[in-house]
Amino acid sequence: MKYIILFYTFSLFAFAQIPDVISIQWLQQHYNDPHLVLIDVRDKKEFQKSHLKRAISVPVFEKLFYGKQMLMPPLSKLKELFSHCGIDEKSKIIVYGGVNPIWSARFYWLSKVLGANNVGILQVSFGNWGKSSLPIGTKIYKPPYRDFVPKINNTILNTKLDVLTSMKKAYIIDGRPFEYYIGKKTHALRAGHIPTALNFPGNLTYDKIGNKSIIKSFETLKKVYKGLSKEKPIILYCEDGADAAMNFLVLKKLGYKVSVYEGSWLEWGNDLHLPIEKKVNKLNE
């Protein structure tokens, strides 16, 4: 009986859910966990200069977007990518990147869509750990191939039809910077935002100093979104799905019912049949 209890305790420890945002201290304590999978979403040149030991290079613009509209890659490509990263149902995935954590959040959200739920992103940008130490190297690590089996979670994935039919029933949140929200800038044919959308830019979730960044604490972030009701569903979008993914991570952790409109503004703004507006919408109007 003693051995059974010990085995059960070990199993719980081995497969426990990791934090959504990973502190340096947590990573130091768990670095040698054999189930840990480290994902570096910076470009290849930055990765080759230096990276965390055992990290796998997954350049965000090369691997995590597809086509001119920056959509989610086909399922077959994502299955192949996750398999070659050595990800399976036992994996504890930690994602990190450069100064902007939204690109790490993109991998985080894609993992959730694919059913790889034990995933978190590093709280700080690469190298921003002060006096703390983490193992750094330049050697390319080749993880063991594992046959990743996707289990699609459609509840966190929206289409433009979902958005059109939900405007009066859900919060629509635009995660782009304010100048894009009001139509002063755009990467699509049209400028503006989806009607009824509120503006909560993804950059509200982290502090940036020079070429370093740190994600704010969840206690601080509660205040950013405090006016939103947790009883009402939230559909998130941005320009390409990355800022929306950052909002998704935070709002999900804070207990909101959230999903991401995957096509985002690059789809909506290029579809001349869809409504747009430029006025500033305020909460509780």
Mean pLDDT of the chain: 91
pLDDT value, residue 2: 40
Band the pLDDT of 194: cuts 50, 70, 90: very high
Percentage of the chain beyond pLDDT 70 is 94
- pTM comes to 0.91
Note the helical H segments in 183-239. Answer: 218-224
Band the pLDDT of 76: cuts 50, 70, 90: very high
Note the helical H segments in 60-131. Answer: 60-63, 75-84, 102-113
What phi and psi, each to the nearest 5 degrees, are found at residue 15? -115, 20
pLDDT value, residue 211: 86
Note the helical H segments in the chain. Answer: 2-14, 24-30, 44-49, 60-63, 75-84, 102-113, 160-164, 178-181, 218-224, 242-253, 264-268
pLDDT value, residue 111: 96
pLDDT value, residue 15: 61
Segments making up each domain of the chain, as ranges: 16-137, 154-268
In CATH terms, 154-268 corresponds, of 3.40.50.620, 3.40.250.10, 3.40.47.10, 3.40.50.410, to 3.40.250.10
pLDDT value, residue 70: 80
Note the helical H segments in 143-258. Answer: 160-164, 178-181, 218-224, 242-253
**Planar angle of CA 240, 208, 110, nearest 5 degrees:** 35
pLDDT value, residue 4: 42
The CATH fold assigned to 16-137 is Oxidized Rhodanese; domain 1 (3.40.250)
